[in-house]
Amino acid sequence: MLLGANRVGFATMAMVAIGCTICRKCHEGTCHVGITTHITTVEEAQDKGLKSFVPREYDPSVDGMVRIFQTLGQEMQQIVAALGFRRAQDLVGRADLLEQVECHALVDLAPLLEPAQPRDFLAHETGVGRRLTRPRNNLTTLLTGLVAEAIEDGEREVTYADHVMAQDRALGAHLAGELVRRPDLYGMVDTVHLHFGPSSIGGNGFAAFTTAKMDVLVEGGAQDGTAKSISGGQVAVMKGLNHKGLRVDGSVARALLMGNRGRADCAGQRRLPCLHSPLWRGCDFRWRDYPAD
Protein backbone atom coordinates (compact mmCIF):
# COMPACT_ATOMS: atom_id res chain seq x y z
CA MET A 1 0.00 0.00 0.00
CA LEU A 2 2.84 2.37 0.77
CA LEU A 3 4.07 1.86 -2.79
CA GLY A 4 0.67 2.75 -4.25
CA ALA A 5 -1.68 -0.24 -4.08
CA ASN A 6 -5.09 0.58 -2.62
CA ARG A 7 -6.40 -2.96 -2.31
CA VAL A 8 -5.10 -6.34 -1.20
CA GLY A 9 -6.18 -9.84 -2.24
CA PHE A 10 -6.43 -12.75 0.18
CA ALA A 11 -7.51 -15.57 -2.14
CA THR A 12 -5.03 -18.29 -1.13
CA MET A 13 -4.97 -17.34 2.53
CA ALA A 14 -8.77 -17.39 2.69
CA MET A 15 -8.77 -20.88 1.17
CA VAL A 16 -6.30 -22.04 3.81
CA ALA A 17 -8.53 -20.60 6.52
CA ILE A 18 -11.38 -22.90 5.47
CA GLY A 19 -9.19 -26.00 5.28
CA CYS A 20 -7.13 -25.91 2.06
CA THR A 21 -3.80 -27.75 2.44
CA ILE A 22 -2.19 -26.18 -0.67
CA CYS A 23 -1.56 -29.52 -2.33
CA ARG A 24 -1.75 -27.77 -5.73
CA LYS A 25 -4.11 -30.33 -7.27
CA CYS A 26 -7.22 -28.17 -7.68
CA HIS A 27 -7.27 -28.75 -11.44
CA GLU A 28 -7.06 -32.55 -11.12
CA GLY A 29 -10.36 -33.04 -9.33
CA THR A 30 -8.67 -34.87 -6.44
CA CYS A 31 -8.96 -32.28 -3.65
CA HIS A 32 -8.80 -34.39 -0.48
CA VAL A 33 -10.82 -31.93 1.59
CA GLY A 34 -13.56 -31.37 -0.99
CA ILE A 35 -13.13 -27.64 -1.59
CA THR A 36 -12.69 -27.76 -5.38
CA THR A 37 -14.65 -30.98 -5.95
CA HIS A 38 -17.68 -30.25 -3.72
CA ILE A 39 -17.44 -33.79 -2.36
CA THR A 40 -18.86 -33.94 1.17
CA THR A 41 -18.67 -37.57 2.30
CA VAL A 42 -16.06 -40.33 2.42
CA GLU A 43 -18.41 -42.64 0.51
CA GLU A 44 -18.75 -40.15 -2.35
CA ALA A 45 -14.97 -39.69 -2.43
CA GLN A 46 -14.44 -43.44 -2.66
CA ASP A 47 -16.96 -43.65 -5.51
CA LYS A 48 -14.90 -40.99 -7.32
CA GLY A 49 -11.72 -42.99 -6.81
CA LEU A 50 -10.04 -40.69 -4.27
CA LYS A 51 -7.56 -42.57 -2.10
CA SER A 52 -7.49 -39.99 0.67
CA PHE A 53 -10.35 -37.78 1.80
CA VAL A 54 -11.06 -35.88 5.02
CA PRO A 55 -14.38 -34.02 4.86
CA ARG A 56 -14.37 -30.46 6.14
CA GLU A 57 -16.64 -29.42 8.96
CA TYR A 58 -18.68 -26.42 7.87
CA ASP A 59 -18.97 -24.47 11.14
CA PRO A 60 -15.25 -24.67 12.07
CA SER A 61 -14.36 -23.63 8.50
CA VAL A 62 -16.55 -20.53 8.76
CA ASP A 63 -15.15 -19.73 12.20
CA GLY A 64 -11.62 -20.00 10.82
CA MET A 65 -12.43 -17.60 8.00
CA VAL A 66 -13.98 -15.06 10.37
CA ARG A 67 -11.14 -15.34 12.88
CA ILE A 68 -8.33 -14.77 10.37
CA PHE A 69 -9.90 -11.63 8.91
CA GLN A 70 -10.76 -10.24 12.33
CA THR A 71 -7.16 -10.78 13.42
CA LEU A 72 -5.83 -9.18 10.24
CA GLY A 73 -8.11 -6.19 10.69
CA GLN A 74 -7.09 -5.65 14.29
CA GLU A 75 -3.38 -5.87 13.49
CA MET A 76 -3.85 -3.50 10.55
CA GLN A 77 -5.54 -0.96 12.83
CA GLN A 78 -2.60 -1.14 15.24
CA ILE A 79 -0.03 -0.61 12.47
CA VAL A 80 -1.94 2.32 10.96
CA ALA A 81 -2.31 3.95 14.38
CA ALA A 82 1.40 3.44 15.17
CA LEU A 83 2.26 5.32 11.98
CA GLY A 84 0.06 8.21 13.07
CA PHE A 85 -2.79 7.75 10.63
CA ARG A 86 -6.51 7.20 11.12
CA ARG A 87 -7.27 5.21 7.95
CA ALA A 88 -5.36 2.62 5.97
CA GLN A 89 -6.44 4.46 2.81
CA ASP A 90 -4.30 7.41 3.91
CA LEU A 91 -1.21 5.19 3.59
CA VAL A 92 -1.67 4.59 -0.13
CA GLY A 93 1.33 5.91 -2.04
CA ARG A 94 3.24 7.07 1.06
CA ALA A 95 6.54 5.55 -0.07
CA ASP A 96 8.37 8.20 1.97
CA LEU A 97 7.51 6.13 5.08
CA LEU A 98 9.72 3.30 3.82
CA GLU A 99 13.49 3.13 4.18
CA GLN A 100 16.11 0.85 2.71
CA VAL A 101 17.71 -1.35 5.36
CA GLU A 102 20.27 -3.41 3.44
CA CYS A 103 22.17 -3.86 0.15
CA HIS A 104 23.00 -0.14 -0.01
CA ALA A 105 26.22 -0.92 -1.90
CA LEU A 106 24.38 -2.94 -4.56
CA VAL A 107 21.32 -0.86 -5.31
CA ASP A 108 20.00 2.57 -4.39
CA LEU A 109 16.23 2.51 -3.84
CA ALA A 110 15.96 6.21 -2.99
CA PRO A 111 14.30 7.17 -6.33
CA LEU A 112 11.73 4.41 -5.83
CA LEU A 113 10.82 5.68 -2.37
CA GLU A 114 10.19 9.27 -3.41
CA PRO A 115 6.47 10.16 -3.31
CA ALA A 116 4.91 10.24 -6.76
CA GLN A 117 3.73 13.68 -7.75
CA PRO A 118 0.08 13.87 -8.83
CA ARG A 119 -0.46 14.80 -12.44
CA ASP A 120 -3.34 16.74 -13.87
CA PHE A 121 -5.22 14.97 -16.63
CA LEU A 122 -4.95 16.77 -19.92
CA ALA A 123 -8.17 17.92 -21.50
CA HIS A 124 -9.07 16.07 -24.68
CA GLU A 125 -8.06 17.97 -27.79
CA THR A 126 -10.47 17.87 -30.69
CA GLY A 127 -9.26 17.80 -34.26
CA VAL A 128 -6.11 15.74 -33.60
CA GLY A 129 -7.70 12.41 -34.50
CA ARG A 130 -9.14 9.63 -32.42
CA ARG A 131 -9.02 5.86 -32.79
CA LEU A 132 -12.21 3.96 -32.00
CA THR A 133 -12.38 0.21 -31.42
CA ARG A 134 -15.19 -2.19 -30.66
CA PRO A 135 -15.40 -3.12 -26.95
CA ARG A 136 -13.95 -6.56 -26.29
CA ASN A 137 -17.15 -7.92 -24.78
CA ASN A 138 -19.51 -6.18 -27.19
CA LEU A 139 -20.89 -9.33 -28.82
CA THR A 140 -21.80 -11.13 -25.60
CA THR A 141 -24.03 -8.23 -24.51
CA LEU A 142 -25.45 -7.82 -28.02
CA LEU A 143 -26.60 -11.43 -28.30
CA THR A 144 -28.19 -11.20 -24.83
CA GLY A 145 -30.43 -8.40 -26.06
CA LEU A 146 -31.38 -10.31 -29.21
CA VAL A 147 -32.14 -13.53 -27.34
CA ALA A 148 -34.12 -11.73 -24.61
CA GLU A 149 -36.19 -9.94 -27.24
CA ALA A 150 -37.04 -13.23 -28.96
CA ILE A 151 -38.04 -14.84 -25.66
CA GLU A 152 -40.25 -11.89 -24.76
CA ASP A 153 -41.94 -12.32 -28.15
CA GLY A 154 -43.06 -15.78 -27.02
CA GLU A 155 -40.38 -18.03 -28.56
CA ARG A 156 -39.83 -21.14 -26.40
CA GLU A 157 -36.66 -22.19 -28.24
CA VAL A 158 -34.16 -19.63 -29.51
CA THR A 159 -31.05 -20.18 -31.64
CA TYR A 160 -28.35 -17.55 -32.14
CA ALA A 161 -25.80 -18.36 -34.87
CA ASP A 162 -22.70 -16.34 -35.71
CA HIS A 163 -19.05 -16.50 -36.74
CA VAL A 164 -16.66 -15.35 -34.02
CA MET A 165 -12.94 -15.12 -33.36
CA ALA A 166 -10.70 -14.94 -30.31
CA GLN A 167 -11.32 -11.24 -29.71
CA ASP A 168 -14.96 -12.07 -28.92
CA ARG A 169 -14.70 -12.86 -25.23
CA ALA A 170 -17.05 -14.27 -22.58
CA LEU A 171 -19.58 -15.39 -25.18
CA GLY A 172 -22.69 -16.58 -23.39
CA ALA A 173 -21.61 -15.36 -19.95
CA HIS A 174 -23.72 -12.20 -20.07
CA LEU A 175 -26.75 -14.19 -21.25
CA ALA A 176 -26.35 -16.67 -18.38
CA GLY A 177 -26.36 -13.78 -15.91
CA GLU A 178 -29.45 -12.26 -17.52
CA LEU A 179 -31.36 -15.54 -17.27
CA VAL A 180 -30.48 -15.90 -13.60
CA ARG A 181 -31.32 -12.28 -12.76
CA ARG A 182 -34.68 -12.47 -14.55
CA PRO A 183 -36.75 -15.47 -13.41
CA ASP A 184 -39.59 -14.29 -15.64
CA LEU A 185 -37.35 -14.61 -18.71
CA TYR A 186 -35.94 -17.94 -17.52
CA GLY A 187 -39.42 -19.41 -17.12
CA MET A 188 -40.52 -18.39 -20.63
CA VAL A 189 -37.88 -20.38 -22.55
CA ASP A 190 -37.11 -24.09 -22.94
CA THR A 191 -33.65 -23.91 -24.54
CA VAL A 192 -31.31 -21.22 -25.86
CA HIS A 193 -28.86 -22.48 -28.49
CA LEU A 194 -25.69 -20.51 -29.20
CA HIS A 195 -23.95 -21.86 -32.31
CA PHE A 196 -20.63 -20.39 -33.45
CA GLY A 197 -19.04 -21.75 -36.62
CA PRO A 198 -18.09 -23.12 -39.05
CA SER A 199 -14.50 -22.04 -38.31
CA SER A 200 -14.76 -19.99 -35.13
CA ILE A 201 -12.62 -19.55 -32.03
CA GLY A 202 -14.34 -18.63 -28.78
CA GLY A 203 -12.27 -16.07 -26.88
CA ASN A 204 -11.38 -16.11 -23.19
CA GLY A 205 -14.28 -17.04 -20.93
CA PHE A 206 -16.20 -18.83 -23.68
CA ALA A 207 -19.49 -20.19 -22.24
CA ALA A 208 -18.44 -19.16 -18.73
CA PHE A 209 -21.17 -19.39 -16.06
CA THR A 210 -23.42 -21.32 -18.44
CA THR A 211 -26.65 -22.26 -16.70
CA ALA A 212 -29.49 -24.68 -17.35
CA LYS A 213 -31.48 -24.25 -20.57
CA MET A 214 -28.34 -23.13 -22.43
CA ASP A 215 -26.73 -25.16 -25.22
CA VAL A 216 -23.47 -23.58 -26.42
CA LEU A 217 -21.52 -24.98 -29.38
CA VAL A 218 -18.44 -23.75 -31.24
CA GLU A 219 -16.91 -25.30 -34.35
CA GLY A 220 -13.19 -24.55 -34.39
CA GLY A 221 -11.90 -24.19 -30.83
CA ALA A 222 -11.99 -22.17 -27.64
CA GLN A 223 -9.48 -20.37 -25.43
CA ASP A 224 -8.79 -20.20 -21.68
CA GLY A 225 -11.69 -20.13 -19.26
CA THR A 226 -14.02 -22.23 -21.41
CA ALA A 227 -17.06 -23.41 -19.39
CA LYS A 228 -15.68 -21.76 -16.26
CA SER A 229 -17.99 -22.02 -13.24
CA ILE A 230 -20.89 -23.49 -15.19
CA SER A 231 -23.88 -24.67 -13.17
CA GLY A 232 -25.93 -26.39 -15.88
CA GLY A 233 -26.56 -26.66 -19.60
CA GLN A 234 -24.27 -28.08 -22.27
CA VAL A 235 -21.04 -26.81 -23.82
CA ALA A 236 -19.57 -28.41 -26.95
CA VAL A 237 -16.27 -27.76 -28.75
CA MET A 238 -16.02 -29.30 -32.23
CA LYS A 239 -13.53 -29.28 -35.03
CA GLY A 240 -14.05 -26.51 -37.55
CA LEU A 241 -13.83 -26.31 -41.33
CA ASN A 242 -10.63 -25.02 -42.90
CA HIS A 243 -10.28 -23.42 -46.35
CA LYS A 244 -10.21 -26.87 -47.95
CA GLY A 245 -13.41 -27.97 -46.28
CA LEU A 246 -11.62 -30.35 -43.90
CA ARG A 247 -12.43 -30.66 -40.21
CA VAL A 248 -9.40 -29.48 -38.18
CA ASP A 249 -8.39 -28.10 -34.79
CA GLY A 250 -11.13 -28.44 -32.16
CA SER A 251 -8.65 -27.41 -29.48
CA VAL A 252 -9.72 -26.10 -26.11
CA ALA A 253 -7.42 -24.41 -23.62
CA ARG A 254 -7.71 -24.47 -19.83
CA ALA A 255 -11.36 -25.29 -19.21
CA LEU A 256 -13.91 -26.38 -16.61
CA LEU A 257 -12.32 -24.32 -13.85
CA MET A 258 -13.51 -23.41 -10.36
CA GLY A 259 -14.57 -26.86 -9.23
CA ASN A 260 -16.80 -27.63 -12.19
CA ARG A 261 -17.12 -31.21 -13.22
CA GLY A 262 -17.32 -32.48 -16.78
CA ARG A 263 -16.93 -35.38 -19.15
CA ALA A 264 -15.79 -35.77 -22.72
CA ASP A 265 -18.06 -37.63 -25.12
CA CYS A 266 -15.92 -38.83 -27.99
CA ALA A 267 -17.62 -39.83 -31.24
CA GLY A 268 -15.17 -41.69 -33.48
CA GLN A 269 -12.28 -39.63 -32.19
CA ARG A 270 -8.60 -40.43 -32.26
CA ARG A 271 -7.46 -38.38 -29.27
CA LEU A 272 -8.86 -37.34 -25.91
CA PRO A 273 -9.05 -33.78 -24.65
CA CYS A 274 -7.30 -32.68 -21.49
CA LEU A 275 -9.99 -31.60 -19.04
CA HIS A 276 -8.49 -29.89 -16.05
CA SER A 277 -11.15 -30.89 -13.56
CA PRO A 278 -13.91 -33.46 -13.47
CA LEU A 279 -18.03 -31.67 -14.43
CA TRP A 280 -20.68 -30.16 -12.18
CA ARG A 281 -23.83 -32.21 -11.78
CA GLY A 282 -26.25 -31.30 -14.52
CA CYS A 283 -23.52 -29.84 -16.74
CA ASP A 284 -22.30 -31.49 -19.90
CA PHE A 285 -19.03 -30.54 -21.57
CA ARG A 286 -18.68 -32.40 -24.86
CA TRP A 287 -15.70 -32.84 -27.14
CA ARG A 288 -16.84 -33.98 -30.55
CA ASP A 289 -14.57 -35.34 -33.23
CA TYR A 290 -15.49 -36.22 -36.79
CA PRO A 291 -14.70 -39.52 -38.54
CA ALA A 292 -11.73 -39.52 -40.89
CA ASP A 293 -14.03 -39.54 -43.91
For residue 31, pLDDT beyond 70:
yes
Domain boundary among 95, 113, 130: 95
Residue 117 belongs to some domain of the structure = no
Higher pLDDT, 125 or 88: 88
In a domain, 101, yes or no: no
Are 144 and 80 found together in one domain?
Answer: no
| Residue 176: predicted pLDDT | 94
Structural domain includes residue 261: yes
Q: In whole angstroms, what is the distance from residue 262 CA to residue 39 CA?
A: 14
| Residue 274 pLDDT | 35
Percentage of the chain beyond pLDDT 70 is 85
From the list 21, 13, 22, the residue with the least C-alpha distance to 71 is 13
Distance CA 262, CA 226 (A): 12
Q: Does residue 132 form part of some domain?
A: no
Q: Count structural domains, the chain.
A: 2
| pLDDT for residue 200 | 92
pTM over 0.85? The answer is no
Report which of residues 147 and 62 the model is more confident about: 147
85 lies in the same domain as 154: no
Q: Cite the beta strand spans of 67-213 per DSSP E.
A: 157-162, 191-202
Residues in the chain: 293
Question: Is position 131 within any domain?
Answer: no
Both 34 and 88 in one domain: the answer is yes
Asked whether residue 112 is assigned to any structural domain, the reply reads no
For residue 5, being part of any structural domain is answered with no
Looking at the structure, tell me whether residues 57 and 147 fall in a common domain.
no
Residue 29, domain member (yes or no): yes
Q: What range does the domain containing 194 cover?
A: 138-288
